[in-house]
Amino acid sequence: MTISIEVCDHIATVTLNRPEAMNALDPESVEQLHAIWQKVSSDSDIRVVILTGAGDRSFCTGADLKKTQPPSETFAELHFGSVRPTPSLATLQTGKPVIGAINGFALGGGLELALQCDIRIASDGAKFGLPEVCIGSIPGAGGTQRIVRAIGQSDAMLMLLTGARIDAQEALRIGLVSRVVTPSALMETAMSIARQIAANAPLAVAAVKRLATVGREIPLTAGLELEQQSFGILRNSEDRLEGRSAFAEKRKPVFKGK
C-alpha cells in the first residue's frame, strides 16, 4: 500500500507513503486515496482525519510524471463514454473534518490535495506552489478554484500566474495555513486539534462543516436559512440534550453521534 491509514480514538491518520518519490501520487495511489476516503466517510467510529506525508522532505509533490502517462482514450471517451478513468483528486469528498499536516513540499497536485483539507498546519520548512504554468499546463485538480476561495483573489493570482513557491511564513501571512510549527511538533499539533474536534458532538461537527462549505457558494440569506434548518434538525438530538445536561452537571459530555 502506498497510502496507509491508522485509526485510534476516533481519529484516522492517513499517510502518503512514498517518501522515495517525494510522496508523489501515481494512479494506484489516487485510487487508494479514494477508497480510504470512502471508508472514512462510512465509518461512524472515525470523527476526524489527519492527512500527512511520510518522511520530513515532502507532503506531496503532485502527480508522479514517471508513472502517469497520457491516456490512450480521447477526452470525449473518458468524459462521456463508458471507459472508467482514474478518479481525480478534485473529487475527493468526505463530511468528516480533515486536517492537513504539511511537512515539506506541497507542490502542484500536492497543494491541490492540501487545499481540500479543512485546516492546514505546516512545519516551518514547508514550501507551497502551483507551478503548472511553468511547464505549459494548469492546476487540473481543483487548484484554480480552491486557491482563490482559500486565500483571496490577489494572492491566489500571484501564485497561479507566476508558478512561484512560497515558504511557510508567507503561507501563514496570506491565510493558506493556520499555524506554523517546528517539524518535531507538527503531528502533535495536528493531533491536539483533532482530539478537540473528536471530543465534540459528531452530528454538530458534520453540520458545521457542511454549512460552512455550502454557505460560501450561495447568497447569505440562503445560507442563513440552511443554518436555521440545521439548528432545528439537531435541536432534539441525543447529543444536544447530553451536551446541555453535561453543562448543567459540570461534567464532560459523552457524545454518541445520535
CA distance 114 to 111: 5
Instruction: Identify the burial level of 143 via C-beta atoms within 10 angstroms of its C-beta, where 0-12 means exposed, 13-18 middle and 19 or more buried.
Output: buried
Reduce the DSSP state of residue 166 to 3 states and report it: strand
Q: How far is CA 76 from CA 81, 87, 138, in A?
A: 7, 16, 19
225 carries an active-site annotation:
no
Q: Which three cell numbers stand for residue 114?
A: 492540501
CA distance 98 to 22: 21
Among the options 20, 31, 132, 188, which is catalytic?
132
The class that CATH gives domain 3-198 is alpha beta
Reduce the DSSP state of residue 55 to 3 states and report it: coil
20 carries an active-site annotation:
no
Q: How far is CA 59 from CA 41, 74, 98, 123, in A?
A: 22, 32, 15, 10
What is the per-residue pLDDT across 170-229, written as a single tens digit (0 to 9) for each? 999 999 999 999 999 999 999 999 999 999 999 999 999 999 999 989 999 999 999 999
pLDDT over 70 (residue 64): no
pLDDT over 70 (residue 84): no
In this predicted model, which residue has the larger pLDDT, 83 or 201?
Answer: 201
- Return mean pLDDT, the chain: 91
Taking each helix axis from N to C end, the angle separating 202-215 and 220-234, rounded to the nearest 10 degrees, works out to 170
Stretch 97-119: mean pLDDT, rounded? 96
**CATH code of domain 202-249:** 1.10.12
Among the options 20, 112, 217, 242, which is catalytic?
112
**Domain extents for the chain?**
3-198, 202-249
CA distance 45 to 5: 14
Beta-bridge partners for 180: 122
pLDDT in the model for residue 67: 60
CA distance 85 to 53: 25
pLDDT in the model for residue 166: 97
pLDDT in the model for residue 91: 85
Answer whether 57's CB lies under 8 Å from 106's CB: no
Beta-bridge partners for 68: none
pLDDT over 80 (residue 258): yes
Answer whether 60's CB lies under 8 Å from 16's CB: yes
What is the per-residue pLDDT across 243-256, written as a single tens digit (0 to 9) for each? 888 888 888 888 99
Nearest to 51 by CA among 143, 125, 128, 114: 114
Answer whether 43's CB lies under 8 Å from 49's CB: no
What value, to the nearest 5°, has the Cα angle with vertex 201 and ends 238 and 149? Answer: 135
Stretch 117-129: mean pLDDT, rounded? 97
Q: Which three cell numbers stand for residue 133?
A: 504554468
